[in-house]
Amino acid sequence: MFQSQAPTWSDMPRTYGLTGPISEDLPEEENLIQTRKLLDTMKSYNVYENNLELEHRERVVKRLESLFRDWLKEMCIEMNVPKVVTEKVGGKIFPFGSYHLGVHSKGADIDALCVGPGFLERKAFFTSFFAKLKAQKEVKDIQAIEKAYVPVITLSWEGIQIDLVFALLPQRSVPDNLDLLNNSIVKNVVDARCVRSFNGYRVTEEILRLVPNVLNFKVALRAIKLWAKQRNIYSNKLGFLGGVSWAIMVARICQVYPNATASTLVIKFFKIFSMWVWPIPIRLIEVEKCTYNLPFWDTKVNRCDRYHLMPIITPAYPQQNTSVSVSRSTFAILNEEIHRGHAICLEIEQKKAKWSELFEPTDFFKKYQHYAVLEASYTTEEKRLEWIGLVESKIRLLVSALERNEPVSLAHVHPHAFPGLRTANKKDGQSTMWLIGLVLNVKYSERCKKNLERSFKTFTNIINSLARSSNIYDEGMSLSVACLRREDLIYEPQQKALQTSETEPPRLVSPVSADKQGTTKRKLLHRSETPSKKFKDDKSLPVDQPHNVPSGGHVDGPSAFAKPAVSLTAPRQTT
């Protein structure tokens, strides 16, 4: 089922993407052996679902679509729509993202697009359909986030997390054979929120269409996703890269190595992107120029697009940058991890290392001398999801503020939330925490402390103001940020035989409560607080050379973030 395949020449067009292939060499026996070893390693991390779990997902999606169709008919009756329209109204749900790509892992969520007829109002989806979903006994933790850039209903259905987006088709019915890849679909859509909702599915479909061998692409992408999660760099929300970005990057490697096995694709992934000259964008295709008056990514048209550090462009109109959230700090961390991966892959090729070394988890608690600890507290469950969601969605603001702070060279946010501190004086309520590792360019002093506290206070004021204006704030909610030294962090390591991409983070506890509870205190290694060495760009790779994009980008002046940072002396150690 998981064997890599080489496409036959008769089935292949001459080129995929914007350029010709770097190599069309057919795989050798050693490449196939390495792919089998890669697959065996990934299976040991328990990332594949079994048939029962896959069937369960399919049933949930079908049940959701049935519920959605029923709701559309109910709305037609409520609106006194003619019977003939009601009978043919249809309605369809299109899964997209990792589930539709076929690369989802155990416990992963499902992204799905709900398409309804144009005579409905968007508001009805987030009120009437929301109420219908909430009434289902299988549904838990449901939340409507209508003011998001892409409005979404999030819920858990029989243990599966689902994100539902909604788009209105400018016609009276939604046929089963609807082709969403046709650009005319978005031509008459006047609501930009619908266009953005459509594009989740359109981008996923285009990616699958633009790779020479879908099976090899899927195996390679699974490997890169596992690596990114293990190294704590898988999160679009917090300024790293999300699933779409990683998929586009892997797809580009597939295009320039059309006959390569999955293991070769992974090795070439790290080689090419360790030498990539950012901000040259990664693109899979020249997107058709449409005059539909929709905003799209273009450095010639939009001045702000020129300042994106790591542009990874979607292959469907209107094209967007999937990595717009990447900051100076996350840019440096991503490049450092890619260089680490490249160093390990070189040793794998030389048979000096195993694939498991690529997937070794990073120990965030050994990485920095100082940490900013963000804690959001609440006393009731009623608005917990909204409160925690609001705080997490704005953490990038705190990271940006810290990057602008004079003493801070780098701010590294951990992509997972932690259960809150268990303190002796906290009798009521619960909390959620996030950690940001800090690299300071000065000695931690009273002046440094005051500079950080100003950034912390500004951030908490912004969040509290947003919570009140959005009617999220509730009695007992609080938000605090503090800077702690590494030795002041005490945590309970998870005693698990196998670290997987879905492993829960350790629980953090306060020093006071730890003494009382007998918690194991981890002795952490010393690490200097100097930024990693910068590497020298190799511009010899003949892939996607600049197209009217200035070399070096628009990073403000020379800094530790102007070039990717990497430790060259110990490439395989967690840094």
Catalytic residue among 163, 229, 245, 368: 163
150 is in an annotated binding site: no
Angle at 38 between CA 33 and CA 43, to 5 degrees: 125
Bridge-based pairing state of the strands 92-96 and 110-117: antiparallel
Q: Which long-range contacts (CB under 8 A, 24 or more apart) does 386-389 make?
A: 386/143, 386/470, 386/472, 387/467, 387/472, 387/473, 387/474, 387/477, 388/417, 388/432, 389/143, 389/145
**243 in a labelled binding site:** yes
Cis preceding linkage at 531, omega within 30 = no
E strand spans, 405-520: 408-413, 418-419, 430-440, 478-485, 490-492, 507-509
* Candidate list 99, 234, 317, 378, residue with the active-site label: 234
Measured CA to CA, the distance from residue 538 to residue 512 in angstroms comes to: 51
DSSP letter assigned to residue 502: T
Residue 218 assigned as binding residue: no
Q: Give the chain's radius of gyration (CA, Å).
A: 24
Q: Is 109 a catalytic residue?
A: yes
CB 21 within 8 A of CB 256: yes
174 marked as binding residue? no
* Active-site residue, selected from the candidate residues 92, 197, 201, 225: 225
> If residue 460 lies in a helix (H) or strand (E), which one and from where to where?
helix 446-469
444 annotated ligand-binding residue: no
Catalytic residue among 111, 271, 305, 532: 111
From the list 345, 327, 358, the residue with the least C-alpha distance to 231 is: 358
**What would the 3-class secondary structure string for 108-126 be?**
CCEEEEEEEECCCCHHHHH
538 annotated as ligand-binding: no
SS3 268: helix
109 is in an annotated binding site: yes
Q: Could you tell me which of 274, 182, 158, 232 has the C-alpha nearest to residue 414?
A: 232
Q: Has 96 been labeled as part of a binding site?
A: yes
Query: Is 225 among the residues known to form the active site?
Result: yes
Question: Is 111 an annotated catalytic residue?
Answer: yes
331 is in an annotated binding site: no
Q: How far is the CA of 9 from the CAs of 14, 15, 19, 211, in angstroms?
A: 9, 12, 18, 15
234 is catalytic: yes
Note if 98 is an active site residue.
yes
Burial class of 427 by CB neighbour count within 10 A (0 to 12, 13 to 18, 19+): exposed
Which listed residue (98, 105, 263, 510) is catalytic?
98
110 is in an annotated binding site: yes
Q: Beta strands 110-117 and 160-169: pairing type? A: parallel
Q: Which amino acid is at 146?
A: E
Task: State yes or no: 61 annotated in a binding site.
Answer: no
> Do you know the residue count of the chain?
575
Can you say which residues are annotated as belonging to the binding site for Mg(2+)?
109, 111, 163
Annotated binding-site positions? 96-98, 109-111, 163, 225, 234, 243-244
State the binding site for ATP. 96-98, 109-111, 163, 225, 234, 243-244
Question: Which residues are part of the catalytic machinery?
Answer: 98, 109, 111, 163, 225, 234
